A and B are shown apart, each in its own frame.
Chain A
Amino acid sequence: MPEPFLELVDISKSYPGVVALDHVGLQVSPGEVIALIGENGAGKSTLMRVLGGVVEPSGGVIRVDGAARSSLTVADAIKAGIAFVHQELNLFDNLDVAGNVFIGREPVHGGPLRLIDRKRMYADVAPLLERMGCDFAADAPLAELSLAQRQLVEIMKALSLDARLVIMDEPTSSLTLAETDRLMRTVAGLKAHGVSIIFITHRLNEVMQCADRAVVLRDGRVVGALTRAELSPAAMIRLMIGRDLKSLYVPPAAPPGDSVLEIVDAVTDTYPGRAVSLSVRRGEILGLAGLVGSGRTELARAVFGIDRLRGGAIRLDGEPIRIESPRAAIEQGIYLVPEDRKGAGLLLDVSITENISLPDLASYMRFWLVDTARENENAACQRERLKIRAPDVKTAVGSLSGGNQQKVVLAKWLSMQPKVLIVDEPTRGVDVGAKQEIYGMLRRLTDAGVAILMISSDMEEVIGVSDRLAVMHEGAISGFLDRSQFSEHNVLQLAVGHTIAAEAP
């Protein structure tokens, strides 16, 4: 292995009430792929923010090419060849691909007029597009690109800066399987060019697939490192959470009952020509798989009353119901845990307590006023149950780690009494241990008679947790699978619109 060009020594960082990093050390050599793993709130993002120059460490040394310093600025990081692909992409919707790659560094001509030299810009982007194997053009408007394509744009931006190290914070958490595959190929390509990569993920199979070594953080400390030869999911889990995990699937206590939620020929605005029919039974988890953009989220939004249905009907316990607003859905006992936690799930600079009680405030009401004592009590109890890592329930959710924010979104709904619970990507960004916790909770709900519709793009999750599967393709259901038919192959076949041999009704 070549000499490391980047070294972190004894890096520490504390926030009020939290020690995010505690004497962490890390070395990066050219051309190596390092997976950074650990539980939610372990300090992974914070460590990478230190490298990217956005967070100033409270102690320790950063050595770039032998030169030691106590902290980096964003400009230092870029100069040192460190590029940070943020979890929340920093791109401009109103520019095209080339414009985004060269934002702030546009080639100019025309002397004092400093006009943007578009020709050169496009010429400069072309080789990058080719190197990444992109299927979009340099002048494609960003607004038309999918999330995965946008990520490639971010990476191109990094490469155009001559990055030696590309940092990716949970790059695959919102990608589909095929897109993840492509990203893995991109990673391999970068490695072949001598670029180092650090990526954070909660999906262990990705680590298995492409990492040279894995560094495991727990409570802000490095608790171990695994070389390529030592890598195995079990070993990683043991280091991450300090114990073994049982298998994902827990069968329901009783066979499923009657249909609770029936969706009959529902048509949404995104796919006006296509109708979806499915039903979720009492006490079961129906997984809803499919590629991103297959219309699953739109279906959920329509059932929850965010959007109007264009056609079709929804029946609850056999009775046709009209849902015109989320309020109406909630009154009927239909809840939705949305996919976009920052936009739709949370009030970021509000406390954990107030976020959790928001959908159910009326029940904390005494003479029109909020009973804050009871509210706090319930939040504390949810925090305990879901192991939300925060100094206390008064903490603003914006300062929590990604996975812990997701747990708060779940907690909002779990403290109420649902009939039907729709969860859209329920464990995005959640660590393996907490995932298990969440799955256990979903199972307890179904055992109590709740019907759950679980939308997920995480193959392990869809196959491991659902009792039955529906797969969507371009706005229509392409097939249902029973547990006996569950396989990655079958799900993928249906997701791309093929049929499979023995299809259950």
Chain B
Amino acid sequence: MNKKDLSLLVLILVVGTVVALINPRFLYVGNLSNTANQIGLFGIFSIAQAFIIIIGGIELSVGSVIALLGVLFIDLIVNHDVNWVVALALIIAAGLAIGLVHGTLVTRMRIQAFVVTLCGLLIYRGAARYYTEDATAGFGFGASFPTLEWLAAGRTNVLGFPLPHSVVALAVVAVIAWVVLHRSVFGRYLFAVGKNEEAARYSGIRTNRVIVSAYVICGGLTAFSAILIAMYTRSISPAVHGSFYELYAIAAAVLGGCSLRGGEGSIIGVVLGTVLLQVLQNLVNLLGIPSSLNFAVMGTVILLGVLGDQYLVQRRQRVGVAKRGEQTSVAAAPLERVKAE
């Protein structure tokens, strides 16, 4: 855990304590369990987003993909009687395919990621609405998939706490992503490509392949979270389902220390960023703040968080320069050097 993650954790604890003091219902088991569920659902596609941001790209179509794949998943199992295991595999495959297309457009056709995924955002949303003729897709009365429902949206009692399975899923995804990003050779390649694609290419890294892989991973994880979210909401109105989710993901990643310039980020940070966003969401509900202010509150806190972080970095630098020979963070030194050049 680096310093940034630590300060984010402190921020979460402070916000949590304040909310709990004002409204003790924050700490009710039911409320905590529901918040945890939200964290599980949002965390997975935020991690997906982090993979893209780390290579210096951006993925704006997350929300639309969640809507389209959610609709398709429900349609497959409800209307076409496809076995849910098969349906799950098909949907994940579709997510991977979307990632492959995005990655290929970005690398081979040299279109900017922002543009590719912005088009994706529009196309998938439109496709979802057209496919359902703008009607809500959902499970009819009586339709039931007990195993799937239990797996995806159930809760297991752990020491008296109803632990949502989405949290378990997030934990598994986060651990794997952490190992991949921070310990594996492939992770090194991802960071290297994000930092300096040219230098990575000169080092013999197949940069295009690395970039496409990142989009494919992102697509797969997003598809996975689309299924969990569909099973949780149980009904999907394609016009609004998942809208703005890409922004939640980007916000979580940025809060968690990812730089939109690429080459920086930590999985722990992204998870903590998701936690903070959901606690804030909860804060708005519990403190009786008009829910129309929801986004405004989140935007303000993100801005403050980033400003505070910037302030700390600069202060650390000044202190480091003033005190002879004192060890400062590795990241601070080159910053100064770059400015000096």
- Taking Cβ atoms with an 8 Å cutoff, the residues of B that contact A are 179, 183-186, 188-189, 191-192, 195-196, 198-206, 263, 320-322, 324-328, 330-331, 333-335, 337-341
Contacts and interface: CB of A to CB of B under 8 A. Distances in A.
A55 interface: yes
Given A16-B327, A369-B179, A398 B337 contact: yes
B78 to A, nearest CB: 39
Nearest to B327: A16
A366 to B, nearest CB: 10
B258 to A, nearest CB: 15
Given A19-B325, A56-B321, 16 more contacts: A14-B324, A16-B325, A306-B201, A326-B203, A327-B205, A327-B206, A343-B199, A345-B199, A345-B202, A346-B199, A347-B192, A358-B203, A368-B186, A370-B184, A370-B188, A398-B338
A15 B333 contact: yes
Q: Is the interface of B mostly helix, strand, loop or mixed?
A: helix
A350 interface: yes
Nearest to A327: B204
Nearest to B187: A370
B195 to A, nearest CB: 5
Interface in A301-347: 304, 306, 325-327, 329-330, 336, 338, 343-347
A383 interface: no
B54 to A, nearest CB: 13
A395 interface: yes
A370 B182 CA distance: 9
A208 interface: no
12 contacts: A16-B327, A304-B202, A306-B201, A327-B205, A330-B204, A343-B198, A347-B192, A349-B334, A350-B191, A358-B205, A364-B185, A369-B184
A399 interface: yes
B333 A399 contact: yes
A348 B183 contact: no
Contacts of B324: 14, 58
Nearest to A357: B188
Most buried by B among A58, A304, A350: A350
A54 B199 contact: no
A221 interface: no
A336 B198 CA distance: 13
Given A17-B327, A347-B192, A396-B334, A326 B185 contact: no
Contacts, number: 110
Nearest to B328: A16
Contacts of A56: 321
Contacts of A326: 201-204
Interface of A: 14-17, 19, 49, 54-56, 58, 86-88, 304, 306, 325-327, 329-330, 336, 338, 343-351, 354, 358-359, 361-362, 364-365, 368-370, 394-396, 398-399, 412
Given A14-B325, A358-B203, A347 B196 contact: yes
B321 A336 contact: no
A370 B185 contact: yes
Given A370-B185, A370-B188, A395 B201 contact: no
Contacts of A15: 321, 333
Given A326-B203, A369-B185, A370-B185, A347 B195 contact: yes
Nearest to B336: A399
Nearest to B335: A349
B212 to A, nearest CB: 14
Q: Is the interface of A mostly helix, strand, loop or mixed?
A: mixed
B325 A17 contact: yes
Nearest to A328: B204
Nearest to A359: B203
Nearest to B206: A327
A368 B192 contact: no
Contacts of B188: 354, 358, 361, 370
Contacts of A338: 202
Nearest to A391: B327
A351 B204 contact: no
Contacts of B327: 16-17
Contacts of B184: 368-370
Given A14-B324, A16-B333, A336 B202 contact: yes
A14 B321 CA distance: 8
A364 B334 CA distance: 26
Nearest 4 Cβ contacts at the A-B interface? A398-B334, A330-B204, A359-B203, A349-B334
A442 B245 CA distance: 55
Given A347-B192, A354-B188, A395 B203 contact: no
Contacts of B321: 15, 56, 58
Contacts of A86: 341
Contacts of A17: 325, 327
A399 B337 contact: yes
Contact of B341 (A88, A336, A394): A88
Contacts of B191: 350
Contacts of B326: 16
Contacts of A327: 204-206
Contacts of A362: 185
A399 B333 CA distance: 6
A362 B338 CA distance: 31
Nearest to B332: A16
A368 B180 CA distance: 9
Most buried by B among A16, A326, A329, A345: A16
Nearest to B333: A399
B206 A349 contact: no
A82 to B, nearest CB: 15
A88 B338 CA distance: 11
Most buried by B among A87, A329, A346: A346
Contacts of B192: 347, 350, 358
A344 B199 contact: yes
A19 B333 CA distance: 14
A67 B43 CA distance: 60
Contact of A395 (B186, B196, B330, B340): B330
A412 B198 contact: no
Nearest to B196: A347
A220 to B, nearest CB: 13
Most buried by A among B184, B189, B327: B184
Contact of A344 (B189, B198, B325, B338): B198
Contacts of A396: 330-331, 333-334
A71 to B, nearest CB: 12
Most buried by B among A88, A327, A336, A343: A327
B334 A348 contact: yes
Contacts of A55: 340
Contact of B206 (A88, A325, A343, A361): A325
Contacts of A344: 198-199, 201-202
